[in-house]
Amino acid sequence: MATSVPSKQKAPGRPEQLVEMSWDPITRIIGNLGIYTKIDFANRRVAECHSTSSLFRGYSVFMKGKDPRDAGFITSRICGICGDNHTTCSVYAQNMAYGIKNPPLAEWIINLGEAAEYMFDHTIFQDNLVFVDFCEAMVKDTNPSVLTKAKTAEAPNAAVHGYRTIAEIMAAFNPFEGEVYKEALQVSRITREMFCLMEGRHVHPSTVYPGGVGTMPTPTLFTDYLSRLMRVVDFVKKSVAMNDDVFDFFYEALPGYEEVGRRRILLGCWGAFQDPDVVDYRYETMDRWGKAMHVTPGVVVDGELVTTNLVDINLGIRILLGSSFYDDWVNEDPFVTRDPLGNPVDMRHPWNQTTLPVPQKRDFGDKYSWVMSPRWKHPQTGEHLALDTGGGPFARLYTTALANLVDTPYVKATGSSVRISLPKGEKLPETTLEWRIPQWSNAIERDRARVYFVAYAAAMALHFVEQGLGLVHAGETKIFEDFEVPDEGIGCGFHEAVRGVLSHHLVIKDKKIANYHPYPPTPWNGSPRDIYGTPGPYEDAVQDMPIFEENGPDDFRGIDIMRAVRSFDPCLPCGVHMYLGKGRTLQKVHSPMFGQNNA
């Protein structure tokens, strides 16, 4: 059944004046994302939008036949930005397939590494990449009247961040020159060091394995992490205050700006930060340990929480084709017909997917992207929903707030918000921040959520440090559980990559990988139109949205379109692959780690 997507409101206007414009590749992101549009300048709207990816790699192809213990090391290379998220998710999937669980201390160490990764990546993306779209230099070029207003608009949170006007905040984010731009780079360095303390190497972890970690759990490990964390808490408080001031100003200065990047509220979050006291990685108990995560998994449709059950989430995933460059696999033999609970598994589920690439010319009337179209089938309505991640933080905070399950000394869900408590820093006092569920799923709210989630990750890291250090002081320092690879097995890992939902789906036969499909946020957010004609989230968020840029067709920058697309934190390596033909080996250098004797 096709998804019914409410159309955005179109005011009666003048006859269309369509101009084709494209941005390919999109700058300030990694990968080969292209946005192709038709702009109606007479009515100041985007009339049409297509999202494309121009490169194919094929991890799902060359993972077959590998030793499953290599999966984490191989899949981390999917991306040079969030590789550790892939390793962690792969470990979760392998733990399920092997029937093991990590020792509690290992879980706290992984949680600390992932928290540092969120702080690192979100900070560098928000302050050094996204905020270039809102900085003084950019606003002066695209909306000079807005900058004029900003120069006299007092910043409500000046007492926190120290900038008197909105224009002063904008200037602080000017690339290479602004104070905040440069300070964010230093914070990214510190948080990257925090990550390396826990996972060994950034961004491809050297100490995270199925069954646990190889990190030496000394008291110094945790105090070194904590000392760095305390160096950045004041920056986090100031960042939230600055972001709130600028984003609230944009709503006021440009009435109707809530429509930029707005789409139906269709959000997916697969959960993050395991609770060692609950998680056992058994599929049969996945609902229970999923709900115990410190970021609650869930699917939100039109503002309502449909489910927090990871079993339901898993079974609802469908990989559709439509406008992507692949042949269908539904006539192939299935790898998995029923899950461990006896539920039927659909042929379009990642466990059963076979990747059959068909290179061809791009045609916006037919096939035009290497990204497939993941959808989630609503169990009650039968809709194939084009869920988005809100750039990651928006969906994470939304589901966690609604689920009202997370309750730690530093982070609490309320049912309509998330309260985040940060301790006293070098200059700023103890601070409680509150992210409240907004009215819209749009560009500004995706961006706003990102900086709140940096605070969320920092606050959770305090909790994780306390728990980990407590185990070390109690002498409970076991960090690895030995295991054997079974002859046959299936596993699925659910995690949150920086920019959103991440799942790994593993099938083992004869102790080798028979099928392996990672589904990161990029195909969810950047998918093309599916077999039902439903556009992907980038396309949906941009198409029919109004244009507020003051420039005309001759010097048009597309700043509103770029804000909409970048609000999703696009990162294309996860969505693209390399294709060498019929199994041709380009170069064999060595076999990674565990599988060295099984090449």
Give the Cα separation of 347 and 39 in Å (integer): 39
Local structure of residue 391 (DSSP, 8 states): T
349 a known binding residue? no
CB 309 within 8 A of CB 298: no
Amino acid at 299: V
135 a known binding residue? no
DSSP letter for each residue of 269-309: E--BS--TTT----GGGHHHHHHTSSB--EEEETTEEEE--
269 a known binding residue? no
492 a known binding residue? no
Query: SS3 string of 406-417?
Result: CECCCEEECCCE
DSSP letter for each residue of 107-166: HHHHHHHHHHHHHHHHHHHHHHTGGGGGSHHHHHHH-HHHHHHHHH-B-TTHHHH--SBH
Contacts of 13 (CB under 8 A, 6+ apart): 40, 42, 43, 45
CB 151 within 8 A of CB 164: no
Q: Of 535, 536, 541, 556, give the one whose Cα is nearest residue 17.
A: 556
Residue 579 burial class via C-beta count within 10 angstroms: exposed 0-12, middle 13-18, buried 19 and up? middle
574 a known binding residue? yes
CA atoms within 13 A on the CB side of 339: 25
List the binding residues for Mg(2+): 577
List the binding residues for Ni(2+): 79, 82, 571
List the binding residues for Fe cation: 82, 574
List the binding residues: 79, 82, 571, 574, 577
